[in-house]
Amino acid sequence: MELNWNIKLFAGLPERFGASHISFTFAAEQITAGQLKQLLAERYPDHADLLRISFVACNQTYASDDTVVSCSDELALLPPVSGGQPSEDASTPGTAAVQRYLITAEPIQSDEVLRKVIVADHGAALAFVGTTREWTKGQRTVRLEYEAYEPMAVKMMEQIGDELAERWPGTLCAISHRIGNVAIAETSVVIAVSSPHRESCYEASRYAIERLKQIVPIWKKEIWEDGSEWKGHQLGPWKPAEPLTDY
């Protein structure tokens, strides 16, 4: 019996395939993520190279090539990332819940994000603010367009916060990221971190930025005066299911 398989597409993939998802029938109910990519590469040979370097997400979690996935799972194909729905998360026991991880189409105010992590027993707080740069290697950018797999992006942001708290006990994190059009000099992302001491605050802030680029499914499209291009991971092979090294 043939079973229906549906895979969501993001970033440049919908443009390549002319649709926001791929639907096909296949006899097996379960296969590995690697077999799924190989199957798609065989069915779409013109896009085989991009399919092979993309990652399968299963139920909003990265699936390694040997992970078994089912046709009933929520499946997505994610090209390398570039770098929703609000998530409620208590900043510390006994305090009110705040939305510390947010995907938004609205402008981001860094002070608002920073306020989410400032607490009485922390002596240091930092806010990393990423903005749209006009010139890159002699090419003028007109604007950026961001797209996100929103529920998974929030989930991965929460994971970053958990990792910070484990590596630097007591550390708090809040992340807000734009989607849609972001003009020159406008803010695309704010990562706020607070810690009891400044050393751990500096270290945790840099870790959060690099980890966001590695695992959060957000993509940017650079719009130039004479064209455009989706930008993905540019730090070597994309391995979102692996820990961040050198930390």
The DSSP code sequence of 86-98 is: -EEEESSTTS-EE
- Nearest residue to 233 via CA among 82, 12, 77, 132: 82
Which neighbouring-strand residues pair with 136?
Answer: 139
**Per-residue pLDDT, 246:** 67
Which amino acid belongs to residue 146?
Y
Domains and CATH numbers, the chain: 3-78 (3.10.20.30), 87-231 (3.90.1170.40)
pLDDT value of residue 96: 41
Count Cβ neighbours within 10 Å for each residue of 125-161 and write b for 16 or more, e otherwise: bbbbebebeeeeeeeebebbbbbbbbebbbbbbbebb
Taking alpha carbons only, the member of 59, 81, 54, 82 closest to residue 70 is 59
- pLDDT at 240 (0 to 100): 73
Alpha helices in the chain (DSSP H): 13-17, 33-43, 48-53, 110-115, 150-167, 198-215
CA 110 vs. chain centroid, Å, equals 19
- Ranges of residues in the chain with a pLDDT under 50 are 83-96, 234-235
Cβ atoms of 218 and 240 closer than 8 Å: no
Q: Which of 106, 144, 130, 157 is nearest to 220 (CA)?
A: 144
pLDDT tens digits, 52-79: 888 999 999 999 999 999 999 999 999 8
State residue 92's pLDDT score: 43
Whether 154 and 85 have beta carbons less than 8 Å apart is answered as: yes
Q: No. of H helices and E strands in the chain?
A: 6, 17
Q: E strand or H helix at 203, and its extent?
A: helix 198-215
